Chain A
């Protein structure tokens, strides 16, 4: 590793962000100006939420299935574990078998947990 990496490597990302942000802002403003020119008609019927033509009952602020929530929690856990793999993978060729068995232990716990949640039916949708 002879090349050094400095925070300045990220300046182009900032530039890209600025360009993309500028594009989105300009387009949104432009469409607002052009599209807003014509006379707008406001009626209750028109501005109601779309509900396939029948009367709207309640609104969309209702609790939904806990299953989605469980998926989100498991996603957080697995995401963190995957992040742990990356520094290991980069150094894999230098650590050799040692590193492999270290990760195998980590992976063993992970797969045990994975087996457990599958057995408990975390991905069963009914």
Chain B
């Protein structure tokens, strides 16, 4: 019963903060609303007993990526009114990437079988120990490949950040 109320509360919070993120006028408020939305989603993970995922969600999204966003917003020169980029290429890029995300979501939902649901009180797969076993035995290759992804990201970041010296 309490779970249901919490679910509704978290859902409303997530939706509200996501909408506020889109419509608030000041960028820094948008960033904070997005952080709030991440917290609400972290709460959803806990309700599903995905404890490790919940805490990782908070650490990585709210604790790391949003700090980066905060830096970015502060790095922008806010004295000059920002004209939203109206370039055609940017618009097409946004549509394509949004559409690709949509396709992935639809693909996930299509294969999802409603009878596969677990009772969150009984399943223990979301715990760090069990998750680690699965990750380092069954999904070893994607894990190792992800390190290459990190390497590319690092190289890219340094190339962008240290541009003026090259």
Residues of A within 8 A of B (CB): 1, 4-10, 58-59, 61-64, 66-70, 72-77, 79-81, 83-84, 86-88, 90-91, 94-95, 99, 102, 105-106, 109-110, 112-114, 116-117, 120-122
Q: Does B157 contact A6, Cβ atoms closer than 8 Å?
A: no
Q: How far is the CA of A113 from the CA of B144 in the complex (A)?
A: 14
**Interface size of B as a range:** 35 or more
Q: How far is the CA of A50 from the CA of B145 in the complex (A)?
A: 52
Which segment of B13-21, B84-92, B132-140 sits at the interface? B132-140
Q: How far is the CA of A6 from the CA of B21 in the complex (A)?
A: 32
Report chain B residues within 8 Å CB of A72: 67-68, 71
Q: Does A87 contact B132, Cβ atoms closer than 8 Å?
A: yes
Q: Does A74 contact B154, Cβ atoms closer than 8 Å?
A: yes
Q: Which of B63, B127, B144, B158 has the most CB of A within 10 A?
A: B158
- Indicate whether A102 sits within 8 Å of B150 (C-beta atoms), given known contacts A63-B77, A91-B132: no
Name the 8 nearest CB pairs between A and B, nearest first: A87-B132, A70-B161, A109-B147, A113-B154, A61-B78, A73-B157, A91-B132, A79-B64
Q: Does B46 contact A10, Cβ atoms closer than 8 Å?
A: yes
Report chain B residues within 8 Å CB of A9: 51
What's the least CB distance linking B159 to chain A, in Å? Answer: 8
Report chain B residues within 8 Å CB of A61: 77-79
Chain A residue at smallest Cβ distance from B154: A113
What's the least CB distance linking A83 to chain B, in Å? Answer: 5
Which segment of B29-37, B52-60, B95-103, B107-115 sits at the interface? B52-60
User: What 1/0 mask marks residues of chain B from 121 to 144 whose CB sits below 8 Å from any chain A CB?
Assistant: 110100111111101100010011
Q: Does A90 contact B72, Cβ atoms closer than 8 Å?
A: no
Q: Does B136 contact A99, Cβ atoms closer than 8 Å?
A: yes
What's the least CB distance linking A104 to chain B, in Å? Answer: 11
Q: Does A63 contact B75, Cβ atoms closer than 8 Å?
A: yes
